[in-house]
A and B are shown apart, each in its own frame.
Chain A
Amino acid sequence: MSAVLRAPALLGVGLVWLYRVTFGAFFPTTCKYHPSCSEYAVQALRRHGLVKGSILAGWRLLRCNPWSHGGFDPVR
């Protein structure tokens, strides 16, 4: 992918990092999945771009609820 096409996804990655160093840092709960939700989001954004990556990350967050079992769940 060219740099121009990659820019929106990098913006998303930046937002994830912003979350990590601000709000995320206040709640030191570790995720029930591996990789963790934010790591998953970064990988999904890098691999699938802003739109699909965001959808994948959002879906993962919804799955990361107290009723799910968690586990090893990499970005496909």
Chain B
Amino acid sequence: MILYAIPILSQLESVMRHVLDWFHSNLGLTWAWSIVATTVLVRMILVPLTIRQIHSMQNLQRYAPQMKEIQKKYKGDKQKQNEELMKFYRENQINPAASCLPMLLQLPVFIALYYTLKHFDFGQNADLSWLHPLIPDISAKTTSSWGGYVLLVVYVLSQMASTFFMAATADKTQRTLFMVMPVIFVFVIARFPAGLVLYWVTTNLWTVGQGLITRRLIAKTPAPAPERRSSRTPPKDDGSSGNGASPEATPPKPAPPASQQPRQVRRKKKRTSRR
């Protein structure tokens, strides 16, 4: 491939080979299990980023109703909808869960593994020991054994499951598209070495496990509505300033003119920013 002309790629490949070799000769794993171990290692390194993402997701959950409102408001115009959402994020100091860098950090690993599988002679122990029929040889084409087909099915299922947890979009059509994609990709992937599919399955399963933990964490944390605080203030105000007429006037009318008490104006401001 042309990509291999880039010098850094051959270095990446040699790093990958050393890591795999370390697992193979020091821990006595077969080459196939070394790939699984390497994948887990990579994902463990990415855990700090993941924890940060979990926090973002928890935070995001609190603003879900307001965000849905924005999406409804600009339903026809995707561009405007995105811009308004981004503005909303900035106003409320929200840190969206998705970001490109952690995802992109996996790209070099993937490329390095691809070339290692292409060039390195694994010889014996290139299988999953007791799962031997599943992957007889990690550097062989996935479709070269019946176990490879099983692996491909596992891949599709794991990819769908990981999409279910990771797709940051709430858009229904987009989500469906993402779910269907692995079925199309499987035809491309079938020609890759089995070890690469193994990597993919492992990383997907990690994502699913992570997703399950995340869901539980989010479910446990109550979603406090930060805006509600404003409704708690009026009782205090009534005692101090004694404006009996204005609280009666406000509830039925959502947006009266701004020529009112300063406190009421402040409340209005909050309400508009919520939209």
A interface, CB within 8 angstroms of B: 23, 25-34, 36-37, 61-62, 64-72
Instruction: Classify the interface of chain B: helix, strand, loop or mixed.
Output: helix
Choice from B99, B102, B181 contacting A25 with Cβ under 8 Å: B181
Q: Would you call A66 and B53 a contact (CB within 8 A)?
A: yes
Q: Would you call B89 and A70 a contact (CB within 8 A)?
A: yes
Bound-state Cα–Cα, A37 to B103, Å: 12
Bound-state Cα–Cα, A34 to B100, Å: 12
Q: Would you call B101 and A65 a contact (CB within 8 A)?
A: yes
Interface residues on B, range: 35 or more
- CB of B83 within 8 Å of the partner chain: yes
Q: Would you call A65 and B89 a contact (CB within 8 A)?
A: no
Instruction: Classify the interface of chain A: helix, strand, loop or mixed.
Output: loop
Q: Write the nearest CB–CB distance from B94 to chain A, whole angstroms.
A: 7
How would residues 188 to 220 of chain B score, 1 for a CB under 8 Å from any chain A CB and 0 otherwise? 000000000000100000000000000000000
Q: With A29-B167, A30-B168 in contact, do A69 and B95 touch (Cβ < 8 Å)?
A: yes
Q: Would you call B168 and A23 a contact (CB within 8 A)?
A: no
Choice from B56, B87, B110 contacting A72 with Cβ under 8 Å: B87
Q: Would you call A32 and B107 a contact (CB within 8 A)?
A: no
- CB of B166 within 8 Å of the partner chain: yes
Q: Would you call A65 and B99 a contact (CB within 8 A)?
A: yes
Q: Write the nearest CB–CB distance from B88 to chain A, whole angstroms.
A: 10
Q: Write the nearest CB–CB distance from A40 to chain B, whole angstroms.
A: 10
Q: Write the nearest CB–CB distance from B59 to chain A, whole angstroms.
A: 11
